[in-house]
Amino acid sequence: MQFEWIQIPYALLTLFIILNYGLLLNAFVAKIGARVGRRIGIPIYQNYIDLIKNYGLRSSITHGVMFYLAPVFRLTGGVGLILFVPTIYGSVMFSNFSFAGDLILALYFIFFGTLGMALGAAESGHPHAAIGVSRGLSQVTMAELPLALAVFSIALQYNTLSVTEIVAAQQGGVLNWTLFTNPLAVTAAMLSFLGSVMRPPFDVVLAPQEIPIGPPTEYHSSYLALMQTNRVIYPVAKMVIFMNLFFGGADNWPVFFLKIFLIYMFAVFIGVVFPRFRVEQSIRWFLIWAVPIGILAVLVV
Amino acid sequence: MKEELEKRIIKGPDGLEFEVEPLRDYYCEAPPTVMPAAYSKIVEDLFNWARSESIWILGFGTGCGAIEMRPLMTPRFDAYRFGVQWRPTPRQSNLFIISGYLSVKTLKRVIRSYEQMQNPKYVIGLGSCTINGGMYWDSYNTIKRLDQYLPVDLYIAGCMPRPEALLAGFADLKKLIRSGKAEGANEYAEKFEWYKANQKRVINDWDMPDYNW
């Protein structure tokens, strides 16, 4: 795809939509959780206020250079992910900077933020941060394995590394989705998805009840606000990839919103049903259940 | 001063000797400064509104009053609908609720936690023990008046106040913040010497730096 200058404002528009959607999605899910627990729950716009407040705090301190850079790395991971995958299939406006090999780049970006966070949290010097980072890295690495296998599998299946072409191959009916043409890969990837959205049963990394509150223990004011911004962009960006690879993509925004919401609710439902894993349990779980399915998916294709 | 906090020479695993001074190495010495409000009034008003609608409480219960904070998370009281939530670390919290009596030993930890919170920060004294000692008025081991040691924005009287009283207190605190009157952090920075002198008068084993953020 040729580069045009107009792509930059288009990509920023996508980013803006995704940011707002992510903020509302998080609040909406929290609201549903509250209603299930017979509470009223947070206002739907609470996340916006929290962001403004954290950006508006007057003082902030630093523990060193990496401490500064970690939130930036984290945000780069989320924003980079969203910039290089097409959000709306067939739309020139919302294809962003997708190119022939974007799938591989996306895999890198998924891991990028975690690594930056690990460096920054380690520099903050807080013991809880160190524990959180070691747990987080081992769990995310483990969760990444089935995803990588699933991605190899469908790259072999469709014989391309371009997300756009993979979406194009799934058009023309629900039965053309990867979900039905390659269910093993989708299963492996969805299991891996559970491990990276930081919801139970895989949220031991930053569960406030276990280690308050893991890697971001020392982060505050605008650092924390940057990380909050990423925490709404990154999951949506990741779900965009899942939607494109496995669930036929979306050719307009309402379908996009609906599919992302449903993919997210998958993780939420699993999370309310199952209790939290310890980190060695979750690693074992990924090795026993998710990785073999991923290998099988590659072999079958 | 404790032995492990004193200045000493340490031999590293690679044979190099280096000097360690824990109070200087692990903490910052700079005293707090008065942080001015945003330059433009309209921006400061926006921030104050956001601060008032997003109050993050430090999850630190100092006395029996802490038991009155827990019901606020439950369906019956549900403080989350007012933008109130609990944070596990002082770095991310804005409101410190001194819940009930404060023993001298706890005061030390309270000061450290309070100083690690970011400006602007607010303190609520919960229960009569924080106002005049309450039922511990003649105790050798608790402080009697909280506002001699920390700048208090709001008191909630009672022994114990019900969770409803806390909710009413949050509503009052919101009004204070929105009108720009909740400037406890700056007050602490301005009268730093006075607060430190008071704190050091009751804390006998003062083995921390004067200010640790």
Give dist(CA A93, CA A89) in Å, integer. 10
Provide the shortest C-alpha distance from residue A56 to chain B (in Å).
6
Contact B30, B20 (CB under 8 A): no
Write the pLDDT tens digit of every residue in B193-213.
999 999 999 998 887 878 876
Q: Is A34's Cβ below 8 Å from some Cβ in B?
A: yes
Could you count the other beta carbons within 10 Å of the beta carbon of residue A298?
Answer: 20
Reading the block at residue A102, the tokens are: 């974007």
Higher-confidence residue of B122 and A107: namely: B122
Q: Is B27's Cβ below 8 Å from some Cβ in A?
A: no
pLDDT over 60 at A202, yes or no: yes
Provide the shortest C-alpha distance from residue B168 to chain A (in Å).
18
Q: Is A50's Cβ below 8 Å from some Cβ in B?
A: yes
Q: Is A91's Cβ below 8 Å from some Cβ in B?
A: no
Predicted pLDDT at A113: 80
Predicted pLDDT at B28: 66
Instruction: Quote the domain boundaries for residue B180.
Output: 36-202
Could you tell me if residue B5 is inside a domain?
Answer: no
Provide the shortest C-alpha distance from residue B139 to chain A (in Å).
33
Predicted pLDDT at B213: 67
Q: Which residue has the tokens 């009596």?
A: B101
Average pLDDT over residues B148-173: 93
Express as a percent the part of chain B with pLDDT over 90: 56
Packing angle, helices A46-56 and A221-246, rounded to 10: 140
Phi, psi for B44 (deg, rounded to 5): -65, -40
Inter-chain residue contact A57 with B50, CB threshold 8 Å: no
Predicted pLDDT at A89: 86
Q: Is A3's Cβ below 8 Å from some Cβ in B?
A: no
Could you tell me if residue B107 is inside a domain?
Answer: yes
Q: Is A127's Cβ below 8 Å from some Cβ in B?
A: no
Closest-CA residue of chain A to B27: A63
For residue B26, what pLDDT band results from cuts at 50, 70 and 90?
A: low
Predicted pLDDT at A296: 94
Which of B59, B86, B118 comes nearest A57 by C-beta?
Answer: B118
Express as a percent the part of chain A with pLDDT over 70: 98
Average pLDDT over residues B27-51: 86
Which of A34, A208, A220 comes nearest B80 by C-beta?
Answer: A34
Write the pLDDT tens digit of every residue in A174-199.
888 989 999 999 999 999 999 888 88
Residues of chain A positioned with their CB less than 8 A from the CB of B91: 217-220, 224
Angle at alpha carbon of residue B116, lines to B111 and B122, rounded to 5°: 75
Give dist(CA A207, CA A215) in Å, integer. 10
Write the pLDDT tens digit of every residue in A127-180.
888 888 888 888 888 888 999 999 999 999 999 888 888 999 998 888 889 899
Q: Is B22's Cβ below 8 Å from some Cβ in A?
A: no
Residues 6+ positions from A217 with CB-CB distance below 8 Å: A121, A124, A126, A128, A129, A132, A211, B88, B89, B91
Predicted pLDDT at B208: 80
Reading the block at residue B125, the tokens are: 């004294």
Residues 6+ positions from A268 with CB-CB distance below 8 Å: A29, A32, A33, A199
The enclosing domain of B160 has a CATH number of: 3.40.50.12280
Contact B213, B121 (CB under 8 A): no
Could you tell me if residue B137 is inside a domain?
Answer: yes
Provide the shortest C-alpha distance from residue A114 to chain B (in Å).
20
Q: Is A224's Cβ below 8 Å from some Cβ in B?
A: yes
String of DSSP letters for A175-190: GGSHHHH-HHHHHHHH
Could you tell me if residue B150 is inside a domain?
Answer: yes
Q: What is the β-pairing status of strands B122-126 and B17-20?
A: unpaired
Average pLDDT over residues A201-225: 81
pLDDT over 90 at B148, yes or no: yes
To the nearest 10°, the Cα dihedral for B38, B40, B42, B48? 10
Which of A38, A42, A221 comes nearest B118 by C-beta?
Answer: A221
Higher-confidence residue of A88 and A209: namely: A88
Give dist(CA A78, CA A83) in Å, integer. 9
Q: Is B169's Cβ below 8 Å from some Cβ in A?
A: no
Q: What Cα–Cα distance (Å) separates residue B173 from each residue in A83, A87, B82, B132?
A: 42, 44, 12, 21
For residue B100, what pLDDT band results from cuts at 50, 70 and 90?
A: confident
Express as a percent the part of chain B with pLDDT over 70: 96
Phi, psi for A121 (deg, rounded to 5): -65, -35
**What is the sign, positive or negative, of the torsion defined by CA atoms of A186, A189, A194, A198?**
negative
Predicted pLDDT at B29: 66
Contact A189, A177 (CB under 8 A): no
**Structural domain boundaries of chain A?**
7-300
Average pLDDT over residues A253-277: 91
Inter-chain residue contact B89 with A212, CB threshold 8 Å: yes
Q: Which residue has the tokens 């990509």?
A: A11
Q: Is A60's Cβ below 8 Å from some Cβ in B?
A: yes
Q: Which residue has the tokens 């040691």?
A: B149
Could you tell me if residue B24 is inside a domain?
Answer: no
Provide the shortest C-alpha distance from residue A231 to chain B (in Å).
16
Could you tell me if residue B21 is inside a domain?
Answer: no
Could you count the other beta carbons within 10 Å of the beta carbon of residue B90?
Answer: 22
Write the pLDDT tens digit of every residue in A62-109.
888 888 888 998 898 889 888 888 888 888 778 888 777 788 888 888
Reading the block at residue B119, the tokens are: 């400006």
Mutate to test the interface with B, among A48, A59, A218 (most CBs of B within 10 A): A59
Residues 6+ positions from A292 with CB-CB distance below 8 Å: none
Predicted pLDDT at A189: 93
Ramachandran category for residue B175: left, alpha or beta (phi over 0 → left; psi -120 to 50 → alpha):
alpha
| pTM for this predicted structure | 0.88
Phi, psi for A22 (deg, rounded to 5): -65, -45
pLDDT over 90 at B62, yes or no: no
Residues of chain A positioned with their CB less than 8 A from the CB of B120: 57-58
Mutate to test the interface with B, among A63, A128, A220 (most CBs of B within 10 A): A220
Predicted pLDDT at A195: 85
Which of A49, A60, A213 comes nearest B83 by C-beta?
Answer: A49
Please report which helix (H) or strand (E) contains residue B58, including its range.
Answer: strand B55-58
Inter-chain residue contact B91 with A41, CB threshold 8 Å: no
ipTM of the complex as predicted: 0.87
Could you tell me if residue B153 is inside a domain?
Answer: yes
Predicted pLDDT at A21: 95
**Which of B25, B20, B26, B37 shows the shortest CA–CA distance to B177?**
B37
Average pLDDT over residues A201-226: 82
For residue A23, what pLDDT band results from cuts at 50, 70 and 90?
A: very high
Predicted pLDDT at B52: 94
Give dist(CA B213, CA A10) in Å, integer. 43
Predicted pLDDT at A1: 57
For residue B174, what pLDDT band results from cuts at 50, 70 and 90?
A: very high
Could you tell me if residue B80 is inside a domain?
Answer: yes
Phi, psi for A217 (deg, rounded to 5): -50, -45
As for how many domains chain B has, the answer is: 1
Phi, psi for B58 (deg, rounded to 5): -75, 125
Beta partners for residue B18, in sequence order: B10
